[in-house]
Structure 1
Amino acid sequence: MYDNPTSRDFLTLLPLTLTLEDHAVTEKISLLPKRLSTEDAPSGSEPSVGDFTYYSPWGNLAIFYKDFGYSNRLIKLGKIVSGTEKLAGINGDFPVKIEKIN
């Protein structure tokens, strides 16, 4: 996780169980239970494979399994370092549990 206000706000929600769905054959997304802080956020970002992000216009989490172009108001929360290639092969909605580990 990156050290920014949006990431810190996301961490306060954990543990969290969400249902991920595919979006644009590029990312898995899910609405969050509340909107996150966008304090000091950049105007947007260009996501790549493994980026763990927050799309502020919709209030959703987005995990990218393919590179994508610049998106306004997309905030990077962190980076998944392995396993994102498996996301591309999952069809349909599926539950995930996100929790902190030490």
Structure 2
Amino acid sequence: MADTKDAELKARKERERDELYALDISGVEWHSAPGTEEHEERVEIAHLPEGAVAMRSSLDPDTVLRYTEAEWRAFVLGARDGEFDLEAGPHDGEPAAE
């Protein structure tokens, strides 16, 4: 029973992903964080139908990632909760302290 539900969930997610990537997003409006300049590297997002979101780097605008509403919500909530905080690491090429 669990295997059937897992297979159904996987198939649904694949369908959602395929539909999302089939969308024509050539006319979307891209947004970036306030205070960033046009020449600065930045992350840009665009709102898509049904709460989906597209995301790209200003340095590589042809590479676009797309997220369903549920995926984007999970990412935003995780980021707010610190799940993606970077650990302090070496700076300016200095080796990490051991």
- Give the structure-2-normalised TM-score: 0.31
**Which protein has greater RCO, CA pairs closer than 8 Å, 6+ apart?**
1
Could you say which structure has the higher strand fraction? 1
Q: Choose between structure 1 and 2: higher helix proportion.
A: 2
TM-score (norm 1): 0.30
